[in-house]
Chain A
């Protein structure tokens, strides 16, 4: 779809939304349009935030930054890196999966609550978002939160808007927490464990005081597609250590000896370690230019492998695990099997599955977001009505 509106200021954005609300014209809200989540949206016009761009303030000593919503995420990461800082929640670059060519925006990162492998230890995007300004469905500019680390003043609309995929408001400016870039990174690779053994090993390692920042399991089917095949043979259960060089090497030594009883252990140093986790973050094995259905599943960490094992008895799937096994990237060989996937998740204690990629034909008939229980969906619908009474923001998205 072509872009109909590209507001250059917050006032412009509010005026456009007000006018749309008056006409009950439905708007598709997008940043760079790189996440491939728009297929289900039935809109009359497209509004992009990409001209609402620029870092508004950055104070490295206070570890906070404010930026307009359309600022490219890459511009922010470069700026932060100059001061040896980072977005600790590690948002993915979605273009590998979606095949899109635009620039992911910081607004898109927070609107989708996009978080990568370090989410396990550092929290999600929503945990780092301190404040925001947004235009509600009536075209009124609202601010929530602030620019300090601790703030419980009033209802936390910041959390509510994070991950709402633009259905509750059009973000215009975000203020977020940043953290020091760890000077050293190492990855312990434990080879040869099957999925169930890996789940046990990850739970054991996460119960040790080794401050592992990320834990993932890459079964044999995907292992070769990471870091150009340089991972050792066999399934790879991987643990990331980050921090000062001396600290990282001391912990790596301890973790290596703790893991050695379970199988062969290799240590990846800086370059390889960083590259590997970037590829885990961006779901490299499934960024394959196809439209095969891909689910992002969130369950209790020890349940991930059970889900995959149960599905394998019914249908063709390929999978790898992040977040200690609690995030499953699940690629379907053919049919998306939404009902099956969701039924099994429920049977295994709950969680949810989001359709991250599929052909437009599949998307048209498959709910991308987990259907909510009746009582919760009543609440969600009421909230949506309170933020966007005319239902003009991203209709069709999120239940």
Chain B
């Protein structure tokens, strides 16, 4: 493939408008990795098409010559979903950023795949609407990437993740065929191909347009900080809140190291004298929020809460969320880290937290925990030094142990970041080979040549031989 590099670059240049192909060495460097910085591979070329037809032309060309393709949104994947390989053409959607249609009576927005997550909400905010899934990277990440990874966010406890808020897509298959799935209706006909595509990590095709569901903004929202003197107490409080039938919009958890890191960065006023912090957000009218909070406070008191702090203003509320959402970036200022993403049943939260700490200690590593507690989606951040190969190896080994711990507790490897490269070789810990064979068979129905983001998700051993 690399021998043919010049021919491929010349051919792609013919398929794309000027300025839409990157092939020089320096220009390719920004595409060598994503937010999973542990791996880097410079791709063969990067196509930045402006239209669905151009995406189709590039895919048709690549499939004809068996060239691997790696789709890319903003490159914010934490699992290496957008990391290329040397013999691959990256298709980046960063030039497809138009909002095509906003339909308030039907509460839908149709946008090109390169539109950022936040800009959908921004576009509809003046009319009192929002788009619910809110990954922490929402300022940068694209809706196409969100669909690829079925992204979540802090508020999906109430509103669901991407797949629950996606109504339709236009996408290009491996051979350049353009198809449309779903639309403005709540249910689509036939097999739920939309559900299969969402979270398929760019292996079934490239989404170029999406129709998403808009929701009316709640009257008000109020995040409240609850400090505890142990992680166990905080975990038990979460389980009881959920068990009591109250579903707040969000319940976020931070342990002491995470509180320190986020407070130093955001100055959000987090209490520094607690071992564990919950951010609980409630919504509705003032009276509703008061009533819901009163019930939550009762429960928190039963679990030994030491600090309760309600945000007194919109600015304060925004700061509380800024601290939480910048957790990964703030951690990046003090150390390199890998971020785990396992989900566990709520009843196992405390146990898994404790064992996570034990695993980190065994490897001599520091770990900070900051995660979506309401749905059991954990994010231990393992701190290490990327320039020390031994430290990096230890961090990776610790991460693997933590993910296996999540699976063994009845959970899964990844709740919202995706398998990517990072967790590919752990898949057999969660699935049998027969389970994976069935998934790969479904994949093959879309991409029989196995050229779409080929080195991701499925262990390299045990793949079907064409």
Q: Give Cα distance in the complex from A152 to B181, angstroms.
A: 20
**One of B85-93, B226-234, B340-348 contacting the partner:** B340-348
Would A203 and B415 be within 8 Å (CB), given that A150-B156, A156-B198, A398-B190 are in contact? no
**One of B7-15, B357-365, B416-424 contacting the partner:** B416-424
Would A372 and B190 be within 8 Å (CB), given that A148-B376, A250-B285 are in contact? yes
Seen from chain B, the residues whose Cβ lies within 8 Å of a Cβ on chain A are 103-108, 127-129, 149-150, 152, 156-157, 160-161, 163-164, 173, 177-181, 183-196, 198-200, 203, 216-219, 239-240, 242-243, 245-247, 284-285, 287-288, 291-292, 343-347, 372, 375-377, 410-419, 423, 427, 430-432, 434-436, 438-439, 441-446, 457
**One of A1-9, A93-101, A286-294, A375-383 contacting the partner:** A375-383
* A157 lies within 8 A of B343 (CB): no
Q: Give Cα distance in the complex from A247 to B430, angstroms.
A: 42
* B191 lies within 8 A of A160 (CB): yes
Interface check A298, CB cutoff 8 A: yes
Q: Give Cα distance in the complex from A162 to B163, angstroms.
A: 14
* B412 lies within 8 A of A387 (CB): no
* B345 lies within 8 A of A151 (CB): no
CB closest residue in chain A, given B413: A153
Find B287's partner among A158, A159, A210, A250 (CB 8 Å cutoff).
Answer: A250
Residues of chain B within 8 A (CB-CB) of A303 are 184
CB pairs A–B below 8 angstroms (22 shown): A126-B192, A136-B438, A146-B412, A150-B372, A150-B416, A153-B430, A157-B196, A207-B105, A209-B217, A210-B216, A244-B291, A246-B291, A247-B288, A298-B189, A299-B184, A300-B183, A301-B105, A351-B185, A372-B190, A380-B190, A386-B445, A387-B441
Residues of chain B within 8 A (CB-CB) of A155 are 196, 199-200, 203, 439, 442-443, 457
Interface check A143, CB cutoff 8 A: yes
* A383 lies within 8 A of B445 (CB): yes
Interface check A59, CB cutoff 8 A: yes
Interface check A370, CB cutoff 8 A: yes
CB closest residue in chain A, given B285: A250
Known interface pairs A159-B163, A247-B284; 14 further A-B residue pairs with C-beta atoms within 8 A, sorted by A's residue number: A59-B347, A62-B345, A154-B435, A207-B216, A209-B128, A211-B218, A250-B288, A298-B187, A373-B180, A379-B445, A380-B193, A386-B438, A386-B441, A398-B191
A-B pairs with lowest CB-CB distance, top 5: A159-B195, A61-B243, A180-B245, A352-B189, A300-B184
* A143 lies within 8 A of B190 (CB): no
State the Cβ distance, B360 to closest chain A Cβ, in Å.
22
Among A95-131, those with CB < 8 Å from B are: 113, 115, 119-120, 123-124, 126-127
Q: Per-residue 0/1 for A318-344: is the Cβ within 8 Å of any B Cβ (1 yes, 0 no)?
A: 000001001100000000000000000
Q: Give Cα distance in the complex from A387 to B435, angstroms.
A: 12
Interface check A399, CB cutoff 8 A: yes
Q: Per-residue 0/1 for A365-399: is the Cβ within 8 Å of any B Cβ (1 yes, 0 no)?
A: 00001101101100110110111000000000011
We find that the number of chain A residues with CB closer than 8 angstroms to chain B is 86
Find B160's partner among A127, A158, A203, A354 (CB 8 Å cutoff).
Answer: A127
* B104 lies within 8 A of A61 (CB): no
* A150 lies within 8 A of B216 (CB): no
* A160 lies within 8 A of B247 (CB): no
* B183 lies within 8 A of A351 (CB): yes
Interface check A261, CB cutoff 8 A: no
Of the listed residues B196, B219, B291, B344, the one surrounded by the most CB atoms of chain A closer than 10 A to its CB is B196
* B106 lies within 8 A of A113 (CB): no
* A150 lies within 8 A of B161 (CB): yes
* B186 lies within 8 A of A124 (CB): yes
